[in-house]
């Protein structure tokens, strides 16, 4: 994961003052606390089984390890898309649990990816805790009603994620295919190490957009911070103001309002 300073990226081609851009994007940090809206969900037998499976899921700090274990539980459940939506509405009762933010989206992803259905709705507006890794290894079509935190579409394979809200850092992290559409803002490291697929952000994006991306297409409709460091392929389309473009670009194309400004 990227975490180094802007200085090492040898940024050139300024298009906006660095301080102004920093101030502009400081407000797009993921929310860590929101008011909780109580949501009433009728508990049927399937929802009860899903809750029992959730309680058995441990957390190892490794998404891959946790996902493999949660898939075992998901295989034993017969969950419809509506069942999974209802479980997302019932998340409030679990959000005080240890590592809830890291565990819950991996569990949801396992349920979705093992389901026989293809269209899903996940609700997050009623949950105060941030939700990481939503759409992990996704290959289905997911509509998210609300915000998410970091790593939306992590290792996404196919399908579509539509977010009616904003998200944190590393949207499309190591994404391989599919489409992510965010109707709000996103944080830093949009499409870090992206290999394929399409990401469209209708709001603003933070710094380090397209860092180390290998392929795929990114479009931002709002303002964008620094971008392009270690870009190895793919395209970035900017339709708002942008910060600085790195000179450490091996291959790829960057457009501003339809005009090609970087071609390597």
* pLDDT single digits (tens) 179-199: 999 999 999 999 999 999 999
* Helical segments of the chain, H only: 18-25, 45-56, 63-75, 81-89, 100-114
Compute the average pLDDT of residues 28-49.
64
pLDDT score at 38: 56
Most confident option among 12-16, 66-70, 91-95, 185-189: 185-189
The residues, any chain, with a CB within 8 Å of residue 112's CB and separated by 6 or more, are: 84, 120, 138, 140, 142
Nearest to 189 by CA among 214, 177, 207, 203: 207
The encoded tokens of residue 263 equal: 């071609």
- pLDDT cut 70: percent of the chain above it: 84
pLDDT score at 60: 84
pLDDT at 25 over 70: no
Going from N- to C-terminal start, the domains of the chain cover 43-118, 150-264
pLDDT score at 215: 99
Confidence of residue 88 (pLDDT cuts 50, 70, 90): very high
Nearest to 97 by CA among 44, 46, 56: 56
Confidence of residue 37 (pLDDT cuts 50, 70, 90): low
Compute the average pLDDT of residues 42-58.
89
């Amino acid at each position: 994961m990227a975490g180094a300073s802007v200085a090492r990226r040898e940024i050139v081609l300024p298009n906006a003052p660095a301080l102004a851009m920093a101030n502009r994007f400081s407000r797009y940090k993921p929310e860590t606390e929101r008011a909780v809206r109580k949501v009433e969900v009728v508990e049927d037998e399937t929802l009860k089984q899903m809750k029992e499976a959730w309680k058995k899921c441990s957390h190892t700090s490794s998404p891959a390890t946790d996902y493999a274990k949660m898939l075992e539980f998901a295989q034993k459940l017969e969950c419809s898309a509506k069942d999974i939506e209802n479980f997302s509405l019932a998340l409030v009762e679990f959000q005080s649990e240890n590592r809830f933010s890291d565990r819950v989206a991996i569990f949801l992803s396992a349920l979705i990816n093992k389901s026989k259905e293809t269209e899903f709705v996940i609700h997050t507006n009623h949950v105060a805790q941030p939700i990481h890794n939503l759409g992990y290894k996704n290959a289905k079509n997911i509509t998210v009603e609300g915000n998410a935190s970091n790593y939306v579409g992590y290792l996404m394979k196919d399908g579509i994620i539509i977010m009616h809200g904003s998200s944190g850092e590393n949207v499309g992290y190591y994404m391989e295919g599919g489409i992510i559409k965010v109707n709000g803002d996103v944080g830093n490291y949009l499409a870090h190490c992206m290999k394929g697929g399409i990401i469209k952000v209708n709001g603003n994006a933070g710094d380090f957009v397209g860092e180390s991306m290998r392929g795929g297409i990114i479009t931002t409709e709002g303002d964008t911070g620094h971008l392009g460091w270690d870009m190895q392929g793919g395209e970035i389309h900017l339709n708002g103001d942008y910060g600085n473009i790195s000179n450490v670009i091996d291959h790829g194309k960057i457009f501003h309002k339809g005009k090609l400004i970087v071609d390597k």
